[in-house]
Amino acid sequence: MSGSVIQLTGRSLVAGAAQGELLFAEVGLSFWGGVDSFTGEVIDRHHPLSGQLLAGRVLAIPSGRGSCTGSSVLMELISNGHAPAALVLAEADEILTLGVFVAEALFERSLPVLCIGKEAFARLQGGAFARVENEVLNLYEHAPAGLWNARPATAERAPSSVQLSRDDLAMLDGQYGKATQVAMQLVVRMAQLQGATQLLDICQAHIDGCIYTGPASLHFAQQLMRWGAAVRVPTTLNAISVDQRRWLQQSIDPALGIPASTLGDIYMAMGAQVSFTCAPYLLDSAPALGEHIGWAESNAVVYANSVLGARTLKYPDYLDICIALTGRAPLIGCHLDAQRKAQWQVRVPAANNLDDAFYPLLGYHIGLMAGGRIPLLLGLEHAAPSRDDLKAFGAAFATTSSAPLFHIAGVTPEALDPAQVLAADTSATVETVRLSDLLVSWRELNSACSAEVDVVSLGNPHFSLSEFAQLARLCQGRHKHPAVVIAVTSGRGVLEQARQAGHVAVLQDFGVQLVTDTCWCMLGEPVIPPHARTLMTNSGKYAHYAPGLVGRSVHFANLAECVDAACSARACGRLPAWLEPAVPEETLPNV
The pLDDT, as a whole number, for residue 543 is: 97
Residue 582 has pLDDT above 70, yes or no: no
Among 350, 377, 347, 345, smallest CA distance to 579 is for 350
* Neighbour-count burial of 500, counting CB atoms closer than 10 A to its CB (0-12 exposed, 13-18 middle, 19+ buried): exposed
Residue 378 has pLDDT above 50, yes or no: yes
Q: What CATH homologous superfamily does 452-568 map to?
A: Aconitase, domain 3 (3.30.499.10)
Report, as an integer, the average pLDDT of 292-304.
96
State how far the Cα of 281 lies from the Cα of 491, in Å rounded to an integer: 11
Domain boundaries, the chain: 5-140, 163-333, 341-442, 452-568
Give me the catalytic one of 12, 30, 63, 67: 67
Strands (E), 333-447: 344-347, 375-378, 407-408, 431-432
SS3 198: strand
| Residues sharing a CB contact under 8 Å with residue 262, sequence separation 6 or more, in sequence order | 218
The pLDDT, as a whole number, for residue 156 is: 52
The pLDDT, as a whole number, for residue 3 is: 55
User: Is 241 annotated in the active site?
Assistant: no
Q: What CATH homologous superfamily does 5-140 map to?
A: Phosphohistidine domain (3.50.30.10)
Instruction: Kindly indicate whether the domain formed by 163-333 is annotated with CATH number 3.30.499.
Output: yes
Report, as an integer, the average pLDDT of 1-19.
87
Residue 555 has pLDDT above 60, yes or no: yes
State how far the Cα of 235 lies from the Cα of 509, in Å rounded to an integer: 36
**Quick one: three-class SS letters along 361-379?**
HHHHHHHHHHCCCCEEEEC
Phi, psi at residue 570, to the nearest 5°? -145, 145
DSSP state of 13: E
Residue 1 has pLDDT above 60, yes or no: no
Chain segment 415-458, per-residue pLDDT in tens: 999 999 998 877 778 999 999 999 999 999 999 999 999 999 99
What percent of the chain clears pLDDT 70, i.e. is strictly above it? Answer: 96
Residue 350 has pLDDT above 90, yes or no: no
pLDDT band at 33 (very low <50, low <70, confident <90, very high): confident
49-58, 158-167, 350-359: which range is least confident on average?
A: 158-167
The pLDDT, as a whole number, for residue 583 is: 46
Between the two ends of the chain, the Cα-to-Cα distance in Å is: 48
163-333 matches 5-140 in CATH topology: no
pLDDT band at 121 (very low <50, low <70, confident <90, very high): very high
C-beta neighbour count of 568 within 10 angstroms: 15
SS3 479: coil
Report, as an integer, the average pLDDT of 352-356.
89
Supply the mean pLDDT for the chain. Answer: 93
DSSP state of 354: -
Do 87 and 96 contact (CB within 8 A), yes or no?
yes
Chain segment 181-225, per-residue pLDDT in tens: 999 999 999 999 999 999 999 999 999 999 999 999 999 999 999
C-beta neighbour count of 101 within 10 angstroms: 25
CA geometry: angle 537, 468, 414, nearest 5 deg: 85
Give this prediction's pTM. 0.90
